[in-house]
Chains A and B, each alone.
Chain A
Amino acid sequence: MIRVSVLLLSLLLSPTVPQLLTVAAAQVPSQVTWTDPAHGLNVPQEVLQRYRNPDGSCVQCSNGMCGTAMNVPEFASLLDDSEYGKAVRGGSGPSRVAAYAKSRNVRIWNITGSTTWEWMRWAALSNRPCAIGAGGNHFQTLKGYDAKRGRWLVCNNNGDQKIQEYDEAAFRRLHLASGQWCVILDYPPEPATPVVRPWWEQLQEGVP
């Protein structure tokens, strides 16, 4: 009993736990739709369920989501054996990501250090999803940035695959909790989910 109490106390006093608790308190489930064309990750939730983190492969899960969104099958199939290589499982650092991106001939920006803010903002504003360090020792996918409300939209890969919203301060804490590292695929952003609308009928009607 004493041992358990000491363990809990030491955990609460450690620097990461209060940080995580404040992040958890600041995150809000988002009301944005999965296929909102204003954001980079326009992939439905049921498809993203495939990228549930099974064994500490959060980096590959996040990169896989980005690969699916941006039509890069070499990254979309990271978690499974495929024609592009064997499944990549387990924890990863920047060097491992660089290695498998190189072996699969995928163009990426692998950014560490203080410039990640600038890169993440650029990715969000140019409608590209982005795999980012988010939370203690964890990677998530940056879906986009709602410039009007100043909210960052982040998709987790730990099961629920829900979109969480963070304000600037909370997002900063979230990103710093994991260390400043982000991965952006160097490919064009995906088109919005196409919808057939008979716009030509407006033309035919002959607007006065």
Chain B
Amino acid sequence: MKTATLFFAACVLCATGDDPAGEINRQRQEAGLAPVVASEKLQQVASACAPLAADAKGLLKLSDVRLAANAAEYSAPIYPLVATRNSPTATAAVESLLSVPPGRAALLGKVQDYGWAAARGPDGKRYWTIFLGAGETTPVSASAPPATASAPTVAITQPTAAAGEELIGGGVIEEVGRDEVIRRGNIQEHIGGDERFASEEDERLAQIAALPPSDNEKWFVSVWASKNCSACTRLKELWKTDPTLRAYAKPENPKDSFSHFTWYYKEDKHQSWRLEKSPSNPNPIQLRAVPTIIVQPPRWQNTDGSYVYGDPSTVVLNYVWEGSPEKLNKAINGAIRAYVSTLQKKEAQDVRNAAIPPARGFGASETPTTPAAGGFGQQIVPPPLKLPLDDEPDREPRHPARDRNNIEASREILIVNDSELVCSSDHEEKVLQVAQEMQPDPPVPVRRVDVKKLPRGIKVKAGELPVVMLVDGNDVEKRTPVPVPDKSWGPFASMWFLAGKAIDMFGTLLIWGVAILCFFVPVIILVIAVLATILWLVRRSKQAPAVQTVYQTAPVPQPAAAPAAVVAPAAAASPASAAAPPAVA
């Protein structure tokens, strides 16, 4: 009944003749673009969707658009826009849409025809629904301008879908949108009554789970991996085939991907700065292990510049891959649900505290901004925070489900290991299997802890690493060491063991020998040389004065008395020789 009333309201507004085409074409003319023309089929689609958009306060499901387009037999791509700022006139609605990137991209994109309708929502606001179409003959993408075919250098073909429905952003919906089914998880929706969803949380999650109609509305999924990591390689291969993982990201086809997907290697020197502390990045993320999956909200902005889902740098999920796509699906689903729920509660608080003017999201700047008056598409106003958030670098987000329910918050399974062994260990799967077998009922979260960061109350022997423990606070309820197995070769195990020991011993001796040769021998030679030099100097110093003393004290030899008989004839024979001194003996 309500829907019928709104539909009537939409029709009434259509009949008033306040056509937005004038303003749209004026803007397009200024931009040098061809004008759009009214399409009867698109008018039908817009009229069908306007009450739904107004009823949901500006939220319009793509599945509803598809249904309406099929009913109207409109086959070309449609770019649905909803102006949610309670614009009084069509001109104001077009201006508000032009002020946001997705709206501007569509209105000034390669579109040919349009349809429109307006309806009042339950909050009394007027919602303008403007549908732009690419024309049924020439489908083009509005997500990026088409490459010029006659470019003078290289002809580049813009990736476009050959068949299927293409929306803003280029996403193509399959015949059965299995990906969206996976992303939605447990949501019960009732069409045709006053209440469509069981809770507002479900409603918001359903909106998020749909394929984002524009590039800026995509969430960010990043994987941090290592090149020497078998689990990382397996995950990368799995992401090419596993439907659950591909529901969140299609690495080889970014256009059809639900999220912007990036695969980082922590060894990559061009990316390692993202993990390092610097003036520009004072609180870098800390990787507990690899591969780690990080989920961040989109950069989608309201008209006032605030972000629809809070600051896009906020880490919504920091998840260490445990080998199961289903677990990852649950973790992402749970984290987004909890995050969006928090935003909603903050929004409600913001409405109550309307006297507080600045509207901010998580991590938004402290500079007060003008209050958000609703935005394009959705109306999530990032709320003010009571206290500034402290960014603790070592603090990592706990699993939101655990915190939210606060059930057995301190009970968990710890996988304790040396951080250097987390990835390289060959029996990683065995450790995870042990952890899975240890799960109590109800299950508790699994956390990896480095042995150096283990709480003081819990003791672990070095030899038993890695070890899986079920703990409640500091009490260890169960403990299963999963040590790295010795390499065994059947019957020759003992021989190999002894050989290994012998090699170890030989290696030790070799190292000692080399150390002695390289260090001790030169030192000993040096010491001996020094000692020998000292000894020689001492001996020399002792010997030298003794010789001198002997020389000085030696008696001067007296000339022997020559027989007079001999001297007399010589002196007589040679008078010169008689004057010569007597010879020293």
Q: A-side interface residues toward B, CB under 8 Å?
A: 33-35, 37-38, 43-47, 67-68, 71, 73, 76-77, 93-95, 98, 108-113, 115, 118-119, 122, 125-127, 147-148, 187-204, 207-208
Contacts and interface: CB of A to CB of B under 8 A. Distances in A.
A100 B144 CA distance: 23
Contacts of B392: 196, 198
A203 to B, nearest CB: 5
A203 B403 CA distance: 8
B358 interface: no
Contacts of B281: 35, 44, 193
A31 B343 CA distance: 30
10 contacts: A35-B313, A46-B273, A93-B153, A109-B156, A112-B152, A112-B153, A125-B216, A193-B274, A197-B362, A199-B362
Interface of B: 99, 101, 104-105, 143-145, 147-148, 151-154, 156, 215-216, 218, 220, 222, 254, 257, 260-264, 268, 270-271, 273-274, 278-281, 283, 285, 294, 296, 299, 301, 305, 310-316, 318, 338-339, 341-342, 345-346, 348-349, 362-363, 385, 389, 391-393, 395-398, 400, 403-404, 406
Contacts of B270: 67-68, 73, 76-77
B278 A207 contact: no
A193 B391 CA distance: 13
B151 A113 contact: yes
The 10 closest A-B pairs by CB, nearest first: A44-B280, A188-B260, A191-B220, A94-B153, A192-B313, A76-B270, A98-B154, A125-B101, A207-B345, A192-B312
B346 A207 contact: yes
B152 to A, nearest CB: 6
Contacts of A190: 262
A193 B144 contact: no
A190 B263 CA distance: 11
Contacts of B268: 73
A126 B349 contact: no
Contact of B285 (A126, A148, A196, A208): A196
A40 B143 CA distance: 16
A198 B397 contact: yes
B263 A192 contact: no
Nearest to A33: B280
B404 A197 contact: no
A49 B281 CA distance: 16
Given A125-B216, A195-B313, A98 B153 contact: yes
Given A125-B216, A147-B99, 10 more contacts: A94-B153, A111-B151, A191-B220, A193-B274, A193-B281, A194-B294, A195-B311, A196-B318, A199-B314, A200-B398
Contacts of B216: 125-127
A126 to B, nearest CB: 5
B264 A71 contact: yes
A102 B455 CA distance: 53
Contacts of A187: 254
Given A38-B301, A67-B270, A200 B403 contact: yes
Nearest to A145: B101
B363 A203 contact: no
Given A194-B285, A197-B315, A94 B154 contact: yes
A118 B104 CA distance: 12
A71 B395 contact: no
A113 B152 CA distance: 9
Contact of A196 (B104, B279, B345, B397): B397
B29 to A, nearest CB: 16
Contacts of A201: 403
B152 A71 contact: no
A206 B552 CA distance: 111
Nearest to B342: A203
A207 B348 contact: yes
A46 B270 CA distance: 12
A193 B281 CA distance: 8
A98 B153 CA distance: 8
B273 A37 contact: no
Given A195-B283, A200-B397, A122 B273 contact: no
A199 B215 CA distance: 25
B391 A37 contact: no
A45 B278 CA distance: 10
Given A67-B270, A193-B274, A197-B314, A94 B152 contact: yes
A192 B311 contact: yes
Nearest to A208: B349
Contacts of B398: 200
Contacts of A203: 338, 341-342, 345, 400, 403-404
Contact of A47 (B147, B273, B385): B273
B144 A122 contact: yes
B575 to A, nearest CB: 104
A71 B274 CA distance: 11
Contacts of B261: 188
Contacts of B339: 199
A191 B274 CA distance: 11
B263 A71 contact: yes
B338 A200 contact: yes
A44 B260 CA distance: 21
A143 B391 CA distance: 26
